[in-house]
Amino acid sequence: MGYLSSIGFLKTKSDASLLIRQGLGDTMFVLVYVDDIIVTRSNTFSVDQVIVSLASQFSIKYLGNLHYFLDVKVLRSSDGLILNQSNYVNEILNDKLMTDCKSVHTPMSASELLTLFDGTHLTDATRYLRVLGKLQYLSFTRPDMAYAMHKLSKFMKAPSELHWKVVKRVLHWGRDISDRASTSGYILFLGTSSISWSSKKQNTVSRSSTV
């Protein structure tokens, strides 16, 4: 971080891991997570300059175009980049032995009203907290799960058996009953305004046996 600051990069207020350098008609972004770094902008020459500069100071391994970062798969198409977390989904389902679970149409039942006093409290909330945390990260590419995650997060201090049942329902959701393909989506915001969004069924099957 210190070296990046010395060559003109500034930390953003929204994310301490994201640094930006602005010049005349040029804006470059560097995302740093531990020892993994993403460098991007529209001008390839400028990116190469930064990589060469970093290599002069540190031992780095250049992996070329971005394909995978923090459990997010990056797929390239003529329309741009598609972010996918299918491998991450399979890891969650494998961990909970739910790779063959039946699908449901929605992450939560519209008629189910959850409260702090529903059912018997879990004697060990670790499982609930761990899975919920993983699902919250999954909502990065599945914004259609955001409401369910927000609702279930309200019970993190004292989750009940009923709350855990609802979490498992979320794990069941997102696959077509006939072909088991997941539906992925995204929303892009500029400030508080949404400027682009998409929801699309994936071409690959989300069963661990085919990963």
Judge if 187 and 111 occupy the same domain: yes
Q: Which of 11, 31, 64 is the last residue of a domain?
A: 64
Cβ–Cβ under 8 Å, residues 108 and 98: no
Judge if 116 and 206 occupy the same domain: yes
* Two structure tokens written together for 119: 């059912």
Judge if 201 and 127 occupy the same domain: yes
* Two structure tokens written together for 118: 């529903």
**Separation CA 123–CA 164 (nearest Å):** 12
Task: Provide the residue range defining the domain that includes 59.
Answer: 2-64
Percent of the chain with pLDDT over 70: 80
β-strand partners of 193: 190
Residue 208 has pLDDT above 60, yes or no: no
Q: Tell me, what's the pLDDT at 186?
A: 64
Q: Give the tens place of pLDDT for each residue, 58-98.
A: 888 888 888 888 888 888 888 778 888 888 888 888 877 67
Judge if 102 and 204 occupy the same domain: yes
Q: Give the tens place of pLDDT for each residue, 37-63.
A: 888 886 667 788 888 888 888 888 888
Q: Which of 36, 64, 92 is the last residue of a domain?
A: 64
The H-assigned helical ranges of the chain are 2-6, 44-55, 86-95, 126-138, 146-153, 161-172
* Two structure tokens written together for 60: 């780095």
**Separation CA 142–CA 1 (nearest Å):** 30
How do the residues of the chain divide into helix, strand and coil, expressed in percent and rounded to 5?
Answer: 30, 30, 40
* Residue 163, number of CB atoms within 10 A of its CB: 24
Q: Which of 11, 37, 64 is the last residue of a domain?
A: 64
Q: Is the residue at 76 inside a domain? A: no
Q: Is the residue at 88 inside a domain? A: yes
Judge if 9 and 41 occupy the same domain: yes
